Structure 1
């Protein structure tokens, strides 16, 4: 486990994270193809005028996508931190349990069999597919005398992901109509979804966040090694069950409202470890606002880099995350988990 930062440094990081999140929210509400001054945003929030075009943009477009980014970004960062702690794998992310692949196949099934065409209609299918895939991985990977070891969970997740992805590609190559609908959802974005979609999955995300925070101490003990944790009286199976359940709830909810956004859950924990050390009791609470801010800023960047159009937030996150992942792979020092 990496050294823990001093209380003073941690306090500075917490303050910086709060400022970052507030700035990201402000930018999300004011920046875009239609720039809206902060004063107008405030009036739209406190005294909305249906006849004012700026107020309509704020209330019907920017507030929903800001709320979605906060919920999805925080959930994915939290889930990625939990997954890295559970598997003791620095390259683990929410997709490790087949969550993205399961959600994608479920959405594609909804498109092809039930003719669902609206992103808001994909919510329950994405959540259900993510949950089923993760449960299958946990069930198969947890078999045997040693239970759900990190290596078994990672290998099982990779196998299930490969299988589900191949089925998804098979359907897409044979159904052009499905491809036209699916490709917009698959890149990960915050548009065309409303607060009603958030309301559907918010209980799951909140429950997952609570479980993840409850399991922080268990992850700290698992970082010492399974045998050491057991010698200290810790039940590793209980921590894994809590962590896997939290990951299913967090990733299922986030993927349902924002699509399969990659890299965010992988990179945020590493950035925070460099600032506050490896204690999960610090990493997990800080991961929520940092993940939210990263997704918000990615969405803002996507609005302005291709005017008059925009680039989906999932593409921006992937574009920024790929070189960072390469740098992580080439890093000479091992990452302490």
Structure 2
């Protein structure tokens, strides 16, 4: 599936900010990559345990063990049984958003690419809200399909807007088009929801972005979409490395540039749209994580994608735990936490890229 959003000009700077001839120079030793992966996996396990144990109310290890064994007797064990799917959803959503952002940076060769910044997340949100308000959409699967379609249409529109004028689709123009689209779609969502008091409260809560409503049923519905999107992105990892060399050289090496970008972008759109449908719009994960992981393992997407998935899970689980403990006995949704972390990071990336012709 090839969309205009995947057709980027070869003149755009690489997301890794590394000249093509210097890619080999920044590759990390295999041992360092393996150690980084093991360290991230260990951190994820620790954060997952903390997420189950800590919240507005702390619980003991006996209750955790009993809840994992299937017992839901008592308030503490009931709380744990609700935290387990919440933690699983945070793991899946963080991994999906990080991989989606990493792929978008690779196919566009744009260091500012991110599902939220490019407006894809808000496009999926608008599609879901319209489905709820105008078409009485109620099923999780319906939300997911609608979110994916909305994400794909928005990606196409942002590319068209960002391609207007001289120079084609530069990183700055794409970012501005994405931000403007997000602002416009946020207004459209408000316009759709305001006359509908019956859905206003639930939609506004979902629109913040969070994993508190995660259930085993919703996870079972979204998991096949996430698996498909992740497999597509991982299979495109090697060709994403080739694209980093530039379109002309990639074509000379036998890569079908447009097809490669189309397939990888489709995987990223599926991941973003599916997660947004079940967790709401959660921003900046796809921007922050790939840049940080790139410092550990270099620009090789064969390592960058899987490590970004694990690091994205760590970030979202950690943000969810933080949101639960900083405002006890209430909580702050994870979308707010990631925005607080990601907005300064976005500004830093913009300032860093300014001198390089952003």
TM-score range, shorter chain: 0.7 to 0.9
User: What is the TM-score normalised by the length of structure 2?
Assistant: 0.82
Structure 1 residue 214: deviation in Å?
0.2
Structure 1 residue 208: deviation in Å?
0.5
Instruction: Choose from 134, 140, 165 the match for 2:152.
Output: 134
Q: 1:82-141: CA deviations, max 9, x gaps?
A: 00001111010013564322222123224433566xxx8566335413423414644895
Q: Does 1:168 align with 2:189?
A: yes
Report the CA distance shift for 1:20/1:334 in structure 2 as closer, same or farther (over 3 A): farther
Whole-angstrom distance in 2 between the partners of 1:181 and 1:321 = 25
Matching residue of 1:291 = 312
Structure 1 residue 42: deviation in Å?
2.2
Matching residue of 1:50 = 72
Matching residue of 2:235 = 214
Report the CA distance shift for 1:136/1:320 in structure 2 as closer, same or farther (over 3 A): closer
Contact 1:103 1:125 (C-alpha < 8 Å) held by counterparts: no
Instruction: Choose from 107, 118, 128 the match for 2:128.
Output: 107
Report the CA distance shift for 1:312/1:332 in structure 2 as closer, same or farther (over 3 A): same
Whole-angstrom distance in 1 between the partners of 2:64 and 2:262 = 44
Matching residue of 1:4 = 27
Q: Does 1:31 align with 2:54?
A: yes
Contact 2:131 2:146 (C-alpha < 8 Å) held by counterparts: no
User: What is the TM-score normalised by the length of structure 1?
Assistant: 0.87
Whole-angstrom distance in 1 between the partners of 2:342 and 2:97 = 14
Whole-angstrom distance in 1 between the partners of 2:73 and 2:191 = 48
Whole-angstrom distance in 2 between the partners of 1:306 and 1:63 = 21
Correspondences of 1:204-243 after superposition (within 5 Å): 204-243=225-264
Report the CA distance shift for 1:279/1:334 in structure 2 as closer, same or farther (over 3 A): farther
Contact 1:73 1:264 (C-alpha < 8 Å) held by counterparts: yes
Q: Which moved more, 1:300-309 or 1:161-170?
A: 161-170
Matching residue of 1:276 = 297
Whole-angstrom distance in 2 between the partners of 1:12 and 1:27 = 22
Matching residue of 2:42 = 19
Whole-angstrom distance in 2 between the partners of 1:334 and 1:271 = 21
Q: Does 1:85 align with 2:102?
A: no
Matching residue of 1:302 = 323
Unaligned segments of structure 2, at least 5 residues: 1-17
Q: Which moved more, 1:50-59 or 1:240-249?
A: 50-59
Matching residue of 1:125 = 143
Structure 1 residue 191: deviation in Å?
1.4
Report the CA distance shift for 1:43/1:327 in structure 2 as closer, same or farther (over 3 A): same
State the Cα RMSD in Å. Answer: 2.8
Report the CA distance shift for 1:332/1:262 in structure 2 as closer, same or farther (over 3 A): closer
Contact 1:212 1:243 (C-alpha < 8 Å) held by counterparts: yes
Matching residue of 2:63 = 40
Whole-angstrom distance in 2 between the partners of 1:164 and 1:325 = 21
Structure 1 residue 248: deviation in Å?
1.7
SS in 1 for 2:55: coil
